[in-house]
Amino acid sequence: MSVAPERVGVAIIGAGPAGCATAIALARRCIGDVTLFEAGATDGPRIGETIPGAALPLLSRLGLMERCTARGHLLSLGATAVWGKAAPHHNDGFANPFGGGWHLDRAGFDADLRAEAMACGVRLHPGRLRAMTPEGTGHRLRFDGADEPFEVTATLVVDASGVRAAALRSLKVARNAVDALAFHWSVLTLAEPEAMPARTFLESVPDGWWYASRIPGGRAVVGLAADPGARFTDGAAFRAAIAATHLIGPQIARGRPLDEQAPPRIAIAPTAILSAVAGPGWLAVGDAAACLDPLLSQGLTRALEEGITAADAIAGAQMGDEGAFNAYQDRIFARFTAGVRLRAGFYAGETRWPDAPFWRRRQVQAAA
């Protein structure tokens, strides 16, 4: 005799910042029966390690400030950029009413989000989603588990699985792409950590732009955003390219990769949005809904804010507000449009290499 699938109220696919923020905000709205489904290991290096001061009120709303303060993230002093001209431009954290934000112990930050969600009564269940199909007024979800596949049915599904949008891919929701970058990145061990200021560094070059940030533990993240395609075949070529930069190179001149021989990791960073981010019995949050260029440094802030906004929409719908999901979608669409315009302005501001394919392509987009 077959066993009926477990039934859950709200199934959140993905236990990263967007998924956890949604779960915590739902719990704070006294909406129970929430389960986070986590696809895999969460303790490896990851990109996205700086959170601006403007995001700190969001952490307060989620009840995370005590955990985050105890974690020992680095206070950010601001940003320094070489963009549009050779002279560096400084944006200091003290000019922001919320401060410069933090350079995160990202694995610790994500762990604290999951711990807070579970402290609020949210269940955390390992499982990689393989398919989602409508069933009655909800959806049936099929997962690969640690030992064997399993199924659940959910009244509501929140896709917080990141760029892959695992749940909505099953529903054939189209993704509208504006652009895509290949972000080549590595974590370095700094020989003299205190010699590198706790700032974000940004430097444009003919074939893209470099980024570097010091993080806790005497380390730094450094990366190059370029057009997709093979570039670095080993760590030595990557380090040589870093050394050739004028701003980034001196900051990490004595840094060594955690793995000396490994080439940099590559993350594809699209600028794209789903054709719909909410529908009957489902909605998407964070990068599953829309991705903006990492140049804007909005990923973590959007994940937290959209998690709170999604919880508000779910609560509104449960109280009978038939327009709650449409209002949520309108907000995501409007924010994406504003982000694309801001991105266009940034790229239009770098005019030193008009014939370089990377810049010509993005300046054509900016003029469109």
Helix/strand/coil (H/E/C) assignment for every residue in the chain: CCCCCEEEEEEEECCCHHHHHHHHHHHHCCCCCEEEEECCCCCCCCCCCEECHHHHHHHHHCCCHHHHHHHCCEECCEEEEECCCCCCEEEEHHHCCCCCCEECCHHHHHHHHHHHHHHCCCEEEECEEEEEEEECCEEEEEEECCCCEEEEEEEEEEECCHHHCHHHHHCCCCEEEEEEEEEEEEEEECCCHHHCCCCEEEEEECCEEEEEEEECCCEEEEEEEECCCCCCCCHHHHHHHHHCCCCHHHHCCCCEECCCCCCCEEEEEEEEEECCCEECCEEECHHHCEECCHHHCCHHHHHHHHHHHHHHHHHHHHCCCCCHHHHHHHHHHHHHHHHHHHHHHHHHCCCCCCCCHHHHHHHHHHHC
The whole-number average pLDDT for the span 64-78 is 93
Confidence band for 40, pLDDT divided at 50, 70 and 90: confident
Q: What is the C-alpha separation between 90 and 96, in angstroms, rounded?
A: 13
pLDDT at 41: 66
The whole-number average pLDDT for the span 83-100 is 84
Confidence band for 1, pLDDT divided at 50, 70 and 90: very low
pTM to 2 decimal places: 0.95
Cβ of 122: how many Cβ atoms within 10 Å? 24
Whether the pLDDT of residue 2 is over 60: the answer is: no
Q: What is the C-alpha separation between 334 and 133, in angstroms, rounded?
A: 29
Closest Cα partner for 211 from 200, 227, 199? Answer: 200
The whole-number average pLDDT for the span 104-109 is 94
Q: What is the C-alpha separation between 68 and 70, in angstroms, rounded?
A: 5
**pLDDT tens profile 244-271:** 999 999 998 878 887 776 789 999 999 9
pLDDT at 322: 95
Confidence band for 364, pLDDT divided at 50, 70 and 90: confident
Whether the pLDDT of residue 44 is over 70: the answer is: no
Q: What is the C-alpha separation between 291 and 309, in angstroms, rounded?
A: 17
Confidence band for 313, pLDDT divided at 50, 70 and 90: very high
Mean model confidence pLDDT for the chain: 92
Interacting residues of 96 by C-beta distance below 8 A, sequence separation 6+: 52, 53, 54
Residue pair 201/251 in contact by the 8 Å Cβ criterion: yes
**pLDDT tens profile 226-236:** 999 878 888 88
Residue, of 333 and 98, whose pLDDT is higher: 333
**pLDDT tens profile 165-195:** 999 988 999 999 999 999 999 999 998 899 8
pLDDT at 233: 81
Tokens linked to 80: 């320094």
Whether the pLDDT of residue 81 is over 50: the answer is: yes
Tokens linked to 72: 């020992």
Confidence band for 330, pLDDT divided at 50, 70 and 90: very high
Residue pair 59/137 in contact by the 8 Å Cβ criterion: no
pLDDT at 7: 93
